[in-house]
Amino acid sequence: MADKDKPSGMKSAYELALERLEKQGIERPREEGLSADTQEKIAEVRRQAEARLAEMEILHRDSLSRSNPMTRRDDEDNYVRERRRIEDDRDRKIEKLRNG
């Protein structure tokens, strides 16, 4: 997914890894070689993950507005941890689809 499509500006572990590879002169895997069915499955995985992330962000903002300052740090840590888990899950599913 392009950076401009990401509402939060955060990048997944997969995207960060691709950028590191490009800095080393290694080309990104191309999705053009994938079948239309596989590309659609990858798009669906991305849509589902983005929906989960959006829902989680809404709930997180709501809980922050109601939480006390003492628990905000824990709430924020939990949010970041869960966000990474969802992104890692998405990246793992996409990689599995790409590899067949």
97-100 long-range contacts, CB within 8 A, separation 24+: 97/38, 97/41, 97/42, 97/45, 98/29, 98/31, 98/34, 98/38, 98/42
Burial 44-63 (b: 16+ CB within 10 A, else e): ebbeebbebbeeeeeebeee
What is the torsion angle, in degrees rounded to the nearest 10, for the CA atoms of residue 16, residue 59, residue 69 and residue 65? Answer: 120
- Which pTM value belongs to this model? 0.65
What pLDDT is recorded for position 85?
A: 96
Domain parsing of the chain, residue ranges = 12-99
Helices (H) and strands (E) counted in the chain, each on its own, are 3, 0
The rounded mean pLDDT for the chain is 84
Q: Are 42 and 98 in contact (CB under 8 A)?
A: yes
In tens, the pLDDT along 54-85 reads 999 999 999 888 888 888 888 899 999 999 99
